[in-house]
Amino acid sequence: MIELSGVHLLLTYQCTLECDHCFVWGSPWQSGTISGANVQKILDQSRDIHTIRWVYFEGGEPFLYYSLLLRSVRAASSMGFKVGIVSNSFWATTVDDAVECLRPFASLIDDLSISSDLYHWDAALSQQAQNAQAAADQLDIPLGIISIAQPETVDTDTAIGRIPTGESTIMYRGRAAEELADRVPHHPWDQFDTCPFEDLRDPGRVHIDPFGYVHICQGISIGNVFEQPLAEICAAYDPGTHAITGPILAGGPAELTRRYDLPHQAAYADACHLCSQSCAALRSRFPSILTPDQMFGVTWA
C-alpha cells in the first residue's frame, strides 16, 4: 500500500527533441499520446485518493499538444489540485510569444518547470528558457529550472561528485544507458546493492503514461488505471513481493540480476545502468510489468 501526494501524467511520449539523457526515450518519432477523456478519468481517480494534492503534466513535451494540455490544466485546477507542468520551453522563441503561450495558464498553475541544460540546448541556460522565465515573471507564474549535469562533471565513485550548483546528477537509465554510460568509469556489478534514486516502498508520487500504466520507476509498472482504479492499484501494491521491486529492495539491481540469473557485464556506470539492462532482459517474462515498449526505446512512429 502506498500513499500518494502527487501524480505525474505523461501526456505524450513525443518530444521536439531527442536528448541523450532522456529516460523515457522522448523523441519526435515516438508514439503514444493520451486523450482528453482519459486525462479526465485519471483526474477523477486521483480525486478519489484524498491525499493527492499535486498533478503534474509532462511528457515527452506536453506543449506539443497545446489544447490537450490547456484542457487538462483547467480540469485539474478546477478540481482543486495544485498543478505543475514540465517543458523544454521550445515554444518560448521570444518573450512576447512566450507570454501569449502562457497567458491562458496564468492563475491555473503553481509550478512551471523548464528543462534547460547542454542535453536540451547549446547553452546551459537556453534563450528559450530565459524567454520563458521573463514571460512567467510577467504573468506571475512560479518557474523553476531543471538542469542535468554532464557525465564528466560527476564522480561516480561517490555518486555525488562535483555537481555544479543547481544541477542534478544523471541516471544511466533509458536512452542515457545507451548513449552516455561509456563516458564515465564503471564499477563492479555486484556493488549495486541498493536503488539510490527512488523510494520504491513509499514513492510519494507515481508517473502515469498515455496508456494508463502506473510507473513506480520508469518502465516498472504496478498496474493500469484503465483496468483498475488508482486507489486499488495503490492499495494492492506490495513492494516486497512485487516481481521487480521485491528483489531490488532486497539487494538492489544486483539482487534483481542474481534472482533471475540474468547475463550481465562485469561493470556498470551506476545502479540504473545495471537495473535497466536487467529489466529489459526480463520483459518477456513480465510483460505486464516491464512496459510499455516506449519506456524501453522501441519506437513505433
For ligand SF4, which is the closer residue by CB, 225 or 244?
A: 244
Write down the least CB distance from residue 13 to ligand SF4, Å: 18
Is residue 116 at the binding interface for ligand SF4, with CB under 6 A as the rule? no
Phi, psi for 70 (deg, rounded to 5):
-65, -45
**Residue 240 to residue 234: CA distance in whole angstroms:** 14
* Count of residues engaged in binding ligand SF4, rule: CB under 6 A: 12
Find the part of the chain contacting ligand SF4 (CB under 6 A) among 47-55, 87-95, 125-133, 272-280: 272-280
For ligand SF4, which is the closer residue by CB, 41 or 186?
A: 186
Is residue 271 at the binding interface for ligand SF4, with CB under 6 A as the rule? yes
Instruction: Quote the cell numbers at residue 58.
Output: 509532462
Binds ligand SF4 by CB under 6 A, chosen from 110, 111, 198, 232: 198
Write down the least CB distance from residue 176 to ligand SF4, Å: 10
Is residue 190 at the binding interface for ligand SF4, with CB under 6 A as the rule? no
Instruction: Residue 145: name the closest of 172, 162, 171, 164 by CA.
Output: 164
Please, are residues 151 and 186 in contact by the beta-carbon 8 Å criterion?
no
Find the part of the chain contacting ligand SF4 (CB under 6 A) among 4-12, 78-86, 271-279, 289-297: 271-279
**Residue 153 to residue 161: CA distance in whole angstroms:** 7
Is residue 214 at the binding interface for ligand SF4, with CB under 6 A as the rule? no
Find the part of the chain contacting ligand SF4 (CB under 6 A) among 80-88, 109-117, 269-277, 286-294: 269-277
Interface characters, 220-259, with ligand SF4 (x: CB under 6 A): ----------------------------x----x------
Beta-carbon contacts of residue 252 (< 8 Å; ≥ 6 apart): 192, 193, 194, 195, 271, 275
Q: Count Cβ atoms within 10 A of the Cβ of residue 134 and give its class: 0-12 exposed, 13-18 middle, 19 or more buried.
A: middle
Is residue 178 at the binding interface for ligand SF4, with CB under 6 A as the rule? no
Count of helices and strands (H, E) across the chain: 8, 10
Instruction: Quote the cell numbers at residue 262.
Output: 540474468
Find the part of the chain contacting ligand SF4 (CB under 6 A) among 12-20, 132-140, 161-169, 191-199: 191-199
Please, are residues 286 and 16 in contact by the beta-carbon 8 Å criterion?
no
**Residue 110 to residue 86: CA distance in whole angstroms:** 12
* Residue ranges binding ligand SF4 (CB under 6 A): 171, 173, 195, 197-198, 217, 248, 253, 271-272, 275-276
